[in-house]
Structure 1
Amino acid sequence: MDNIKNTVNYIKESLAGSASTASKEANKNVAKDDNASLGTRAQAAGDAISDKFDEQKHNRQADVHKEAAKH
């Protein structure tokens, strides 16, 4: 039963990490957009940094669940 829970948690964390990666990339593109206002670009840059932390957190958790599912 624990293996199933760890596998499900691995999948959930992997998907959350992928979503954070996509959001990070979108925010990076906005931050680089010369047509966007300075405030919008600054907000997008801050959001990209936050997304990067979320991405790393989810990927670490996915790795933990993946290893736990192996045992």
Structure 2
Amino acid sequence: METIKNAANYVSESVQQAGATTSKEANKEVAKDNNASLSSRATAAKDAAGDKMDESKHETHADVHKEAAKH
């Protein structure tokens, strides 16, 4: 039963990681957009950094659950 729980948690973390990656990439594009206001670009850059942290956190959690599901 614990293996199933770990597998489900792995999938959940992987989905959340993908969402953070998508958000990070979108924010990076806004930050680079010369047509966007300076405040929008700065906010997007800050948000992209936060998304990168979330992405890393979810990747780490996914890896832990993946390894736990193997045992």
Pick the TM interval, shorter chain.
Answer: over 0.9
With the length of structure 2 as denominator, give the TM-score of the two structures: 1.00
The structural deviation recorded for 1:38 is 0.0
Number of the residue aligned with 1:57: 57
**Structure 1 spans left out of the alignment, 5+ residues:** none
Counterpart secondary structure, 1:69: helix
Q: Distance in 2 between matches of 1:16 and 1:60?
A: 12
Q: Distance in 2 between matches of 1:30 and 1:2?
A: 42
With the length of structure 1 as denominator, give the TM-score of the two structures: 1.00
Number of the residue aligned with 1:40: 40
Number of the residue aligned with 2:28: 28
Deviations 1:23-67 (A, max 9, x none): 000000000000000000000000000000000000000000000
What letter corresponds to residue 37 of structure 1 in structure 2?
S
Flag as ranges the 4+ runs of structure 1 deviating above 3 A: none
Q: Distance in 2 between matches of 1:63 and 1:18?
A: 14
**Structure 2 spans left out of the alignment, 5+ residues:** none
Measured on the aligned residues, the alpha-carbon RMSD in Å equals 0.2
